[in-house]
A = this chain, B = another copy of it.
Amino acid sequence: MNEELAQNAPAWVRVREALEGFARRSPSRFAVLIFAAMILVFTAIFAAPFSGANNTPTALADALFTAVSTICVSGLSTVDMATHWSPLGNAFVFIGTQIGAIGVLTLASVLGAIISGGLGLRAKLMIASDTNPLRLHAGPVPEGQAIKLGDVGGLVVSVAVSLFAIETVIAILMMPSVMAAGYPVGESIWYSFYYAASAFTNTGFTPNIGGLAIFQGDFWFLSLIMIAVMLGSFGFPVLYALRRHLFHPRKWSLHVKLTLTTWWLLWAGGILAFLIVSPIGSTAFRAFDAGQRIFEAAFLSTMARSGGFNIVDISQLDTATLLLTDMLMFIGGGSASTAGGIKVTTFAILLLAAVAEARGRSSIEVFRRRVPSDVLRLGVSVVLWGATTVALGTLILSNITDAPLEYILFDVISGFATVGMSTGVTASLPDSGVYVMAAIMFMGRVGTVTLAAALAASQVGQFFNHPEERPIVG
Given A319-B398, A354-B384, A466-B368, answer yes or no on A379-B112 (Cβ-Cβ < 8 Å): no
Chain B contacts of A396 at CB under 8 A? 320
- Cα of A471 to Cα of B280 in the assembled complex, Å: 39
Cβ–Cβ contact B258 & A115, under 8 A? no
Q: Which of B280, B458, B466 contacts A399 (CB 8 A)?
A: B280
Q: Which of B351, B384, B474 contacts A335 (CB 8 A)?
A: B474
The interface size bin for chain A is: 35 or more
Q: What 1/0 flags go to A431-449 for Cβ under 8 Å of B? A: 0000000000000000011
Beyond A112-B472, A373-B377, A404-B404: 20 further Cβ-contacts under 8 Å? Answer: A115-B472, A135-B469, A135-B470, A255-B472, A277-B395, A281-B399, A320-B395, A320-B396, A327-B391, A343-B472, A346-B473, A348-B471, A354-B380, A357-B378, A362-B374, A365-B466, A372-B468, A373-B376, A376-B380, A405-B409
Chain B contacts of A116 at CB under 8 A? 470, 472
Cβ–Cβ contact A381 & B362, under 8 A? no
Q: How many Å from the CB of A354 to the closest CB on chain B? A: 4
Which residues in chain A, 77-104, are within 8 Å of chain B measured between CB atoms? none
Which residues in chain A, 449-474, are within 8 Å of chain B measured between CB atoms? 449, 451-456, 458-460, 462, 464, 466-474
Check A239 for interface membership: any CB of B closer than 8 A.
Answer: no
Chain B contacts of A10 at CB under 8 A? none
- Cα of A343 to Cα of B456 in the assembled complex, Å: 28
Check A329 for interface membership: any CB of B closer than 8 A.
Answer: no
Closest 6 CB pairs of A and B: A452-B474, A382-B474, A360-B458, A335-B472, A319-B398, A354-B381
Sample 18 A-B pairs with CB under 8 A, ordered by A number. A136-B467, A277-B399, A323-B394, A323-B395, A327-B391, A335-B471, A345-B472, A349-B473, A353-B381, A356-B377, A357-B381, A358-B381, A358-B458, A361-B460, A370-B469, A376-B376, A378-B474, A452-B474
Check A375 for interface membership: any CB of B closer than 8 A.
Answer: yes
Q: Which of B360, B405, B469, B471 contacts A136 (CB 8 A)?
A: B469
Check A324 for interface membership: any CB of B closer than 8 A.
Answer: yes
- Cα of A301 to Cα of B336 in the assembled complex, Å: 41
Q: What is the copy number of this chain in the assembly? A: 2
Check A369 for interface membership: any CB of B closer than 8 A.
Answer: yes
Chain B contacts of A327 at CB under 8 A? 391
- Cα of A360 to Cα of B345 in the assembled complex, Å: 21
Cβ–Cβ contact B323 & A391, under 8 A? yes
Cβ–Cβ contact A473 & B354, under 8 A? no
Q: Which of B319, B360, B364, B471 contacts A254 (CB 8 A)?
A: B471
- Cα of A364 to Cα of B449 in the assembled complex, Å: 23
Check A371 for interface membership: any CB of B closer than 8 A.
Answer: yes
Q: Is the interface of A mostly helix, strand, loop or mixed?
A: helix
Chain B residue nearest in CB terms to A468: B370
Chain B contacts of A394 at CB under 8 A? 323
- Cα of A459 to Cα of B259 in the assembled complex, Å: 28
Cβ–Cβ contact A375 & B470, under 8 A? yes
Check A350 for interface membership: any CB of B closer than 8 A.
Answer: yes
Check A359 for interface membership: any CB of B closer than 8 A.
Answer: yes
- Cα of A319 to Cα of B453 in the assembled complex, Å: 35
Given A353-B377, A380-B353, A404-B404, answer yes or no on A449-B466 (Cβ-Cβ < 8 Å): no
- Cα of A440 to Cα of B284 in the assembled complex, Å: 30
Chain B contacts of A350 at CB under 8 A? 380, 384
Check A318 for interface membership: any CB of B closer than 8 A.
Answer: yes
- Cα of A372 to Cα of B467 in the assembled complex, Å: 10
Interface centre among A259, A391, A398 (most CB of B within 10 A): A398
Check A342 for interface membership: any CB of B closer than 8 A.
Answer: yes
- Cα of A404 to Cα of B403 in the assembled complex, Å: 11
- Cα of A262 to Cα of B173 in the assembled complex, Å: 58
Q: How many Å from the CB of A450 to the closest CB on chain B? A: 9
Chain B contacts of A15 at CB under 8 A? none
- Cα of A186 to Cα of B385 in the assembled complex, Å: 54
Given A346-B473, A351-B384, answer yes or no on A468-B358 (Cβ-Cβ < 8 Å): no
Chain B contacts of A358 at CB under 8 A? 381, 454-455, 458
Check A138 for interface membership: any CB of B closer than 8 A.
Answer: yes
Cβ–Cβ contact B404 & A472, under 8 A? no
Chain B residue nearest in CB terms to A137: B468
Q: How many Å from the CB of A125 to the closest CB on chain B? A: 12
